[in-house]
Amino acid sequence: MTLTPLRIAAVSALALAAALAMPASAADLNLTPAPAKAVRAEGTFKLSAATRIHVAKGDIEARGVANQFADLVRRSRGFRPAVVEGAPANGEAAIVLTREGPAGEAYKLDVSPKGVTIAAAQRAGLFYGAMSLWQLATPNEAKGPVAIPAATIEDAPRFAWRGLMVDSARHYQSIATLKATLDAMAAHKLNTFHWHLVDDQGWRLEIKKYPKLTQVGAWRTDPGAARVYPKYGGFYTQDQVRDLVAYAAARNITIVPEIETPGHALAPIVAYPELGSAPPDASKMGDWGVFPWLYNTDDATFAFLDDVLNEVMDLFPSTFIHVGGDEAIKDQWKASPKIQAKIKALGLKDEHELQSWFIQRVGKTLEKRGRRLIGWDEILEGGLAPNATVMSWRGVDGAIAAAKAGHDTVLSPHPTLYLDNRQSASPEEPTGRGKVVSLKDVHAFDPAPAQLTEDQRRHILGVQANVWTEHMQTDARMQAMAFPRAVALAERGWSPAAGADWADFARRLPAEMARLKVLGVTANTVPFEPQAAFTQGEGGKTRLALSTGLGIGEIRYTLDGKAPTAASTPYADALELPAGAAVKARAFLDGQALGRERSWIIAPSLLRTRLSAQLKLCTEKVPLTMIDDAPRAFEQRAMMVVDILNPCWIWEGADLTQGAVIRVRVSQIPFNFQVGADRDRIPLRAPATPGGELEVRAGCAGERLAAIPLGEASKNPGLSTITGRLPPRAGKVDLCLSFTAKSVDPFWTIERVTLTPANAFQ
Active site residues: 199, 264, 327
Question: What does the angle CA 532 – CA 533 – CA 535 come to, to the nearest 5 degrees?
Answer: 140
| Cβ–Cβ < 8 Å for 204, 198 | yes
| Cβ–Cβ < 8 Å for 138, 76 | yes
Strand partners, 6: none
| Cβ–Cβ < 8 Å for 686, 742 | yes
Question: What does the angle CA 364 – CA 369 – CA 374 come to, to the nearest 5 degrees?
Answer: 55
Strand partners, 84: 54
Instruction: Give me the count of residues in the chain.
Output: 762
Sheet with 639-643, edge to edge strand ranges: 421-422, 432-436, 623-627, 639-643
String of DSSP letters for 410-453: EE--TTTTBTTEESSS-TTSPSEEEEE--HHHHHH--SS-TTS-
Q: Which residues contact 349 (CB under 8 A, 6 or more apart)?
A: none
HEC string of 652-701 equals EEEECCCCEEEEEEEEEECCCEECHHHHHHCCCECCCCCCCEEEEEECCC
Sheet with 693-698, edge to edge strand ranges: 616-617, 648-655, 732-739, 693-698, 704-709
Rg for the chain, CA atoms, rounded = 28
Residue (of 161, 31, 158, 156) closest to 102 by Cα position: 156
DSSP 459: T
